[in-house]
Each structure stands twice: as C-alpha cells, then as structure tokens.
Structure 1
Amino acid sequence: MNIKNINVKGINVKHLITVSLCTFSMSSFASILQVDQVLQQLNPIEQRIESALERAQRLPLPVPIPQISIDELKAQISEPISNLPNVLNINMNTQNTVFVEVVVEDGFRAIERQWLLMVNLEQLNILKNRNISIVSVKNYSALNMSLVRFNVPQNIDSKTELLKTLNLDSSALLDRNHIYQAQTNTNQSTNHKLSMPSSYCMDPTKIGIIDSAVNQKHSAFANANIKTSSFLPQGLSSPNLHGTAIAGLLIGKNKQLTPLLGNAQLYSAEVFYRQSEYAQGATLFAIVEALNWLVSNKVPVINMSLTGPNNAILKASIEASINENVLIVAAAGNQGPASQPLYPGAYDSVIAVSAINEKNEIYRWSNKGTYIDFAALGVNVLTALGNGKFGRESGTSVAAPHVSAALSCLLVKHNNNKSKALDELTSLAHDLGEPGKDTTFGYGAIYPPKNAL
C-alpha cells in the first residue's frame, strides 16, 4: 500500500487511521484487504486536505478587516451566485430552443457561432456566396447602418478566420453576437431606515431604458406614462425583475417611493431574457434594435444598466446614437475593483456610473477604472420589485438612473444642449476620494438637489 503522511495539527491522520483499523482487523488476510479498501477511499479526502493546507501556507499574514455596516454586509452576503454553464440552451418552452449561449473569448458569453457585420451591398453579396447561414439582414434608419446576422461553421468561428474567409480587412465592423448582463442584486428587505431621495426635477422629460420588462401593474406605476417595445425573438418573454427596479427608481411613486423624475415619459426597450433564477442576459442584436427604436423616438437620455465585452458593433451603434444628439448613461459594472473594463460604460462617449452607499463609501463590487465618470447611491436603494412589492437593491445598475435623471433635467434646463448639461452635471458632482477625477468616483457623487433643478 502506498500510504502518504498527512499532518493536521501535529496528528498523522493516515497513520492514526491505519493503526486503528489494524488493531481491530489484523486477524485475517480479508481484514487487511478491507483496510486497504478503506485507505483507497481516503485518497480523495487526502488530496483535498493537502490542497487546503497548501493554500493556507500561501495565504498572506492577517490584515485588518474593514468595518462596514450591518446593512451593507447583508447586501454583500446576499450577492447571488449566478454562475452559468458553459453551454446554455435558451428555450421558448421545454421543447423549443431559441438559441444556444456559449462561453467565448475572455470568458464572455455569446450566441453559439453567430456573428454580426455592418455591411454594404458588395459585402452582402460576398456573404451570400460563402459557407455561412444568413439569419437576418436589417437596415436601421435612425442609426444610419445596415446589419447582417449570420451563423458560421465551427472551423471559421473566429474573427481572424472570418476576415480571411470573407476577404475583409481588420477595419471591418464584424463581431460576435455577445450577451450582456444586468447589474443588480435584490435584497428583498424594506426594514432599512435610509433617507428617501427626492426628485431631480418636475419638468416634463423623456427618458429611455434598455432593460427587461416592467411590471406595469405595480402600484408604483399607477399613474405612470410608460411606452414599451420588446426586441426578443417571438415567443421568448422578458422577466420583469430588473426593468421594474430601474423604472421604479426613475418614475415609481407612492407613499414609500419618490421618483427621480417627477414628470417623465419612460420608453422601456425590453431586451433581457431569463438565463437562470438570478441572471438575465441580452443579445447585442437586441440592444442594437433597442437603440434604433429609442433614437427614432427622439429619446434624449438612454439608461443602460448592463455590462459585457468590448464589441465593434456595440461601439458603432452607441456612437451612431450619440451622433443623433443622445446621451447614454451606463452602469460601471459589479465585478469588483480588479475587473477589466466593462462595456458600454467603458467607451469614452458613454457616461459610466459607480455605486456608493449613504456614507459615500464605494460599493464593494463596484468596478473601478479611468472610465468612471460619476458615482451615485447604489447600496440598499428602495425601489419597486417585479413581484409587486417594494425592496432594496444594490449595484451600479441602481446608481446609473441617478445620473440619467439628472441629465434629463439639465437637458430641459439648457434647451437640449448636451455640452452645457454635462458641464453643469460635472460642476454639481461632490468630489470624493482623491481631488479631481479619480478611478473610483470619477468626478464625484451626484445627489438629488434639495430644490429641483
């Protein structure tokens, strides 16, 4: 028998077990075989103990534990584990699969072997003569772009191979149909005694969200003005969890809730579908369609509480929207301070928002980086929930609407002049952290004013 020694607190575990077993069972050869079988069963346990001990030896010396409030600790503990399988079927029902999600480059997700290309007529003809399957060809007039969506065989399922196969240079606007994720955590409690934010303004405003469905039967929206459109495949419904929370912050109103915008029309573009109990995803294709709809309806501010990878098509559609005099505000991301930049927030033309608590402390999971523009309240924030109740949400998703609301009001004040609105927003920011713009709070925190803007 090959017996290795494991010492835990000075005790040789296997030696102790071996001696104990042999004391009772050395009377026969069969008993010896039983001992050997037991020891073999201990091998996986031995390996786990050794692995744990090795990890413990590599741990740094203890460091002081930062003090955080009980409420914030609860929010952090309740952060849902939303890890998804590497291959995930998105089903219309138990029998019909709409599409398949897979993990691709850098750990991001995309629809399996599906790509998007911004095309002209010549490029479209090339596509039709190659070994690919065209899913759709659409023209987006508000964005002044045409997009073809297509599937490819496994052997050319990479940007390098596709550029070569389609005879395109590296400047071609070609990328995967990536999946983007919602950025909130529901705490489901209303027992926290936090102050209620006031409205940024009472002026008539128009604002858009690219999100999940909104539960319009919620009491918070009894007198709300909401216009909706779904950009999901036919037969696939959007959950109402995330969208209801974001809409609740912007326009929800009752004795518990004061809307950030006192008199707004909300344009709700539904792009999220259910991935799991805790996770919602949106395809890039749906996001492009949502942007085109909002721009065509002349919505001046678009809130995007979602994150994902850098993508050539996403960047082009964002820039096309901004060229139409639209401002886009996005969640910075909830992957933590060591995370790589997440998009669309990390684009220079997009306003990225990190989350803070009522003590102006950064939310533990908030992303950091040079792309952070502002911070706003995003920990234990009261809002409407998809189940018809009220609860607390945390994350950069619920911080972003503060900046979106402030910009909506400032655009009205400055007669839709984007430069003046942005300049005043920067002047209103409460500088936190290092003096000036920094990688945690950006220019500083945006709070609802004591008197409406």
Structure 2
Amino acid sequence: MNIKNTRVKHIIATSLCIFSATSSANIVSVDQVLEQLNPIEQRIEQTIERAQRLPLPVPVPQVSIDELKAQISEPISSLPNVLNININSQNTAFVEVELENGFRAIERQWLLMANSQQVNTLKQQNVTIVSVKSYNALNMSLVRFNAPQGVNSKSELLKALNLDESAILDRNHIYQAQTGEPTEKVTPNNSIAPYCTQSVKIGMIDSAINTKHSAFEGANITTQSFLPQGLSSPNLHGTAIAGLITGKGAKLNPLLGSAMLYSAEVFYRQSEYAQGATLFAIVEALNWLVSNKIPVINMSLTGPNNAVLEASITAAIKQNVLIVAAAGNQGPASQPLYPGAYKSVIAVSAIDANNQIYRWSNKGDYIDFAALGVNVVTSQGNGKFGRESGTSMAAPHVSAALSCLLLKHGNNKTKALNELTSLAIDLGEHGKDTTFGYGAIYPPKSAL
C-alpha cells in the first residue's frame, strides 16, 4: 500500500476545517496526523505481505454424483408418488403409493381381521380378495383384498362393505427401516460387551442377513422370508442389526454371546437407498416368531398407526412376548411413529458415546429407554465392517438385555422389565422423560 502524502494532507486539512466549525475540540497539525497514520500503513502492508506468502489451499477433489449419493441417505419423500415394485422386467409384485399424510401403502389394498361370517360377507361385495389366512400363533385370521376404485377412506370402505365400525380394518401400509448411511472407516469399539453368555432365543423383523459375512462364522441364525415369491430382500439393514446381536470379530463384540437368532425377512428394495416392508409381511413375521416361542422380538422399523398392526402386536404380547422397537429417526418434532409408540411396545431412542441424544431421534412420552446408537461398529451387507447410526442400532441393546433378564427370571416379564428399569442410567430430566425414557441401557460390567 502506498499513500500519497500530499493528497492525504489535503483530505485531512479539509476534514479538520469542517470539524473545527462544528466542534470545540483542539485541532492538531496535519503532520501530526500523518505521523499517526504511517505506522498503521506499515502494519497493513506487513499483513498483506504475510498473506501473500501463505500457501495456496489444497485443491478439493471433485466428487462424482454417484460417490456423493453413497454418502447421503435418501429421504422417503424423494420416492415417487407411485412406485412399481418389480420382481423382474416383466413382472410386478405390487404397486405402492404415497398417501395424503405422507405415509405409503400398497395401492387400494386393505387388511381385515375377520371371522368366517365376515369373510363370507366380504366375498359377496365388489372387492378382489387376494388372500385369506389364519395365524394360529396369534389366534387371528386376516383377509387381504383390493378395494373398489374410488373408495379411498376407511369410513367409505366400511360403508361400502356393510361392516360395523368396530371392524379391525386398515390399509396395507409400508414401514421403513430406521438407520443412517454406513461408514466404512472403523476402529474397534470395545465399549460394547455381551449382556449375557448363555444361549438365549431372540427374534428380529428386518431385511435379509448376509450370513456369509465373517462376523457370522459359527453363528446360530435361522431365517425365513415373507416376501412375494421372486422378490428378494436387500441385506444391508438386517446384516447390521444381526451383527450387533450376534456378530463376532476383531472389530465387533456381540450383545449376546450365544444367541439363537431368528430373523424374519420383510424388507424389499424401494430404491438404491430406501427399503420398505408391508404390514402384511410384518404380521406373517410376527406369527412365525411367536410360533417358534421367541420371547423377545426386535423391530427396528417405523411407520403409521394402523389398527391391524396394533391388534397383531397385542396378540403377540398375549403370548408372553416382549416387543422392542426403534423410536424413529424423524427428529424431536416428529409425530409418534409405530409400533414404538404403542403403550405395550418398548420404544428405544439413540444416544452417542457421550450420552448425547442422536439429533434425529424421535421424542415423546412413549420413549421407554435410550441406548448407544451413534457411530456403532457392526457388520455390513458388503462383507465389511462399518459404523452405523440411528434408533435401529439402539433397539438391539434393549432387546438383548431383556432376553438375558427373561432367562434370569424364568420368563417373568414383569420382573425382567422391573430389573431393566432399575439398571437404566437416568439422563436428562429426573425420572422418566420424553427424550431418554427411564434412562440409558449399557452393557453390564459383568453378565446379567
């Protein structure tokens, strides 16, 4: 910087003249002012010189769209309003649509818990019956049918079918997995330890599992698909959940050292980043798990309130089953998501290693417990290990703890739940709150 003294003197002199006309302040000479300006000018010049000597920023490598997509979890709202779920290029399994409330369902398809008389009545109506099935373990029968064109609400359908308002009727809704995108950079996480080492049964309703993953070498896993014939289940989410429960390796400590894991496959691929499960498949999965006398069922999925889902959950719990569900990853302002929001279901929110709530974790008076669910090391569908986040990752902690406590208390649900509550570390507000529930559940220093 190079200031011309003559020009500066002229500016200063003019300013001083104006200033002297409006103020009683003492006037100093122009040379005195310049003496004060010169050191300032020198410091500015030195600063600019130092800045010019700084190294140029390291060029940021360009990232392709595909690489960027791999780091972003596609929101459900980005799915098209109408989506064909194809078995192959020639055959469509079903069509899912977005509803007015933002949730999704199979197009025109409804489920009715019905007795034989209601089934006969339904057959005489203008509907297409897809299936009629009895679920002995749940002590219920379910009719799956397609509603007439133009009938879009439950009230309209009840009237059209001449059914009483007490009928347990609802859409074949779609439910979503509750986890974020995986990260492959992994360091061993030794903070996770088994809740118990005994052989315990535990169930999960999820996607397929990559059982060939090294984490499952020697694992006791029984799987069953409840998808339409020819429709495959992606293995991303299920592999991560199963890895937490029973996966082993240098980078992975299982929550249950000797679990007998029963995995019901219900998720199908909606897009490269999203996967959904129909309510019909979830009901079938519940029936299978209850029939195998599974004491605890982990459901790391969420969706809308649904009369048929609630009735199915209630039927399972009557068979002395505990159901644990992810609270949801829609954020603290979200409406309640189900099945976690049902009073009979144990809802789990996610925290990080510093006991801070996961920023996308749902809040509400239905939250029962919190557990580690942020940057959790687990197995991935691609055969590698990585870190996952979400309430999906937190729910297995509570499921594992309850499995061990039920074994300890002779399958007494009340005693198991009471001890789990006593083990919870109170976080946030004193007592049960809408963020952490009764508190955080951690793996014990010694097995339960």
**TM-score of the two chains, using structure 1 as the length reference:** 0.82
1:347: Cα distance to partner?
0.2
Name 1:24's counterpart in structure 2.
none
Name 1:230's counterpart in structure 2.
225
Name 1:405's counterpart in structure 2.
400
Q: Distance in 1 between matches of 2:235 and 2:188?
A: 26
2:437 to 421, 431, 442: 442
Name 1:119's counterpart in structure 2.
114
1:195: Cα distance to partner?
4.2
- 1:330-369 equivalent positions in 2, closer than 5 A: 330-369=325-364
SS in structure 1 at match of 2:272: coil
Name 1:67's counterpart in structure 2.
none
1:394: Cα distance to partner?
0.2
Q: Does the 8 A contact of 2:188 with 2:251 survive in 1?
A: no
Does residue 373 (structure 1) correspond to residue 394 (structure 2)? The answer is: no
Q: Distance in 1 between matches of 2:74 and 2:274?
A: 9
Name 1:310's counterpart in structure 2.
305
Q: Does the 8 A contact of 2:348 with 2:394 survive in 1?
A: yes
Q: Does the 8 A contact of 1:190 with 1:382 survive in 2?
A: no
1:96: Cα distance to partner?
1.1
SS in structure 1 at match of 2:176: strand
Does residue 156 (structure 1) correspond to residue 151 (structure 2)? The answer is: yes
Q: Distance in 2 between matches of 1:181 and 1:81?
A: 11
Q: Which amino acid aligns with 2:196?
A: C
Structure 1's 155 and 78: CA in aligned 2 closer, same or farther, altered over 3 A? closer
Does residue 250 (structure 1) correspond to residue 245 (structure 2)? The answer is: yes
Q: Which amino acid aligns with 2:110?
A: W
2:446 to 445, 448, 451: 451
The superposition leaves residues 243-280 of structure 1 with CA deviations (integer Å, 9 ceiling, x where unpaired) of 00000000000111110001110000000000011111
SS in structure 2 at match of 1:98: strand
Q: Distance in 2 between matches of 1:392 and 1:78?
A: 14
Q: Does the 8 A contact of 2:184 with 2:384 survive in 1?
A: no
Does residue 286 (structure 1) correspond to residue 261 (structure 2)? The answer is: no
1:156: Cα distance to partner?
1.7
1:422 to 410, 414, 417: 417
CA RMSD in angstroms comes to 1.3
SS in structure 1 at match of 2:260: strand
Q: Which amino acid aligns with 1:423?
A: N
Name 1:196's counterpart in structure 2.
191
SS in structure 1 at match of 2:107: strand
Q: Which amino acid aligns with 2:316?
A: S
Q: Does the 8 A contact of 1:196 with 1:257 survive in 2?
A: no
Does residue 101 (structure 1) correspond to residue 96 (structure 2)? The answer is: yes
SS in structure 2 at match of 1:204: strand
Does residue 324 (structure 1) correspond to residue 319 (structure 2)? The answer is: yes
Q: Distance in 1 between matches of 2:302 and 2:350?
A: 14
Q: Distance in 2 between matches of 1:160 and 1:104?
A: 16
The superposition leaves residues 79-123 of structure 1 with CA deviations (integer Å, 9 ceiling, x where unpaired) of 444421111000001221110000124111000000000011111
Name 1:136's counterpart in structure 2.
131
Q: Does the 8 A contact of 2:186 with 2:385 survive in 1?
A: no
The superposition leaves residues 393-433 of structure 1 with CA deviations (integer Å, 9 ceiling, x where unpaired) of 00000000000000000001101000000000000000000
Q: Distance in 2 between matches of 1:191 and 1:295?
A: 36
Q: Which amino acid aligns with 1:354?
A: S
Structure 1's 140 and 193: CA in aligned 2 closer, same or farther, altered over 3 A? closer
| Of 301-310 and 121-130, the range deviating more from structure 2 | 121-130
Q: Distance in 2 between matches of 1:331 and 1:109?
A: 19
Q: Distance in 2 between matches of 1:250 and 1:194?
A: 14
Q: Does the 8 A contact of 1:304 with 1:331 survive in 2?
A: yes
**TM-score of the two chains, using structure 2 as the length reference:** 0.83
Q: Which amino acid aligns with 1:215?
A: N
Q: Distance in 2 between matches of 1:295 and 1:118?
A: 18
Q: Distance in 2 between matches of 1:181 and 1:211?
A: 10
Q: Does the 8 A contact of 1:226 with 1:266 survive in 2?
A: yes
1:78: Cα distance to partner?
4.4
Q: Does the 8 A contact of 1:108 with 1:179 survive in 2?
A: yes
Q: Distance in 2 between matches of 1:187 and 1:89?
A: 26
Structure 1's 193 and 252: CA in aligned 2 closer, same or farther, altered over 3 A? closer
Structure showing greater radius of gyration is: 2
1:187: Cα distance to partner?
2.8
Q: Does the 8 A contact of 1:80 with 1:185 survive in 2?
A: no
Q: Distance in 2 between matches of 1:112 and 1:133?
A: 13
Q: Distance in 2 between matches of 1:320 and 1:304?
A: 16
Q: Which runs of 5+ in 2 are unaligned?
A: 1-70
Q: Does the 8 A contact of 1:206 with 1:299 survive in 2?
A: yes
1:189: Cα distance to partner?
2.5
1:168: Cα distance to partner?
1.6
| Of 331-340 and 167-176, the range deviating more from structure 2 | 167-176
SS in structure 1 at match of 2:256: coil
Q: Which runs of 5+ in 1 are unaligned?
A: 1-76
1:358: Cα distance to partner?
0.3
Q: Which amino acid aligns with 2:412?
A: N
Q: Which amino acid aligns with 1:149?
A: R
Q: Which amino acid aligns with 1:119?
A: A
SS in structure 1 at match of 2:440: coil
Q: Distance in 1 between matches of 2:188 and 2:325?
A: 28
The superposition leaves residues 155-203 of structure 1 with CA deviations (integer Å, 9 ceiling, x where unpaired) of 2232011110111222110000000000001332334575430110001
1:92 to 83, 87, 91: 87
Q: Distance in 2 between matches of 1:325 and 1:122?
A: 29
Q: Distance in 1 between matches of 2:75 and 2:112?
A: 34
SS in structure 2 at match of 1:116: strand
Name 1:181's counterpart in structure 2.
176
| Of 149-158 and 193-202, the range deviating more from structure 2 | 193-202
Instruction: Report sequence identity in percent.
Output: 76
The superposition leaves residues 104-147 of structure 1 with CA deviations (integer Å, 9 ceiling, x where unpaired) of 24111000000000011111111111110000000000000000
Q: Which amino acid aligns with 2:106?
A: I
The superposition leaves residues 199-249 of structure 1 with CA deviations (integer Å, 9 ceiling, x where unpaired) of 100011000000000000000000100011100000000000000000000
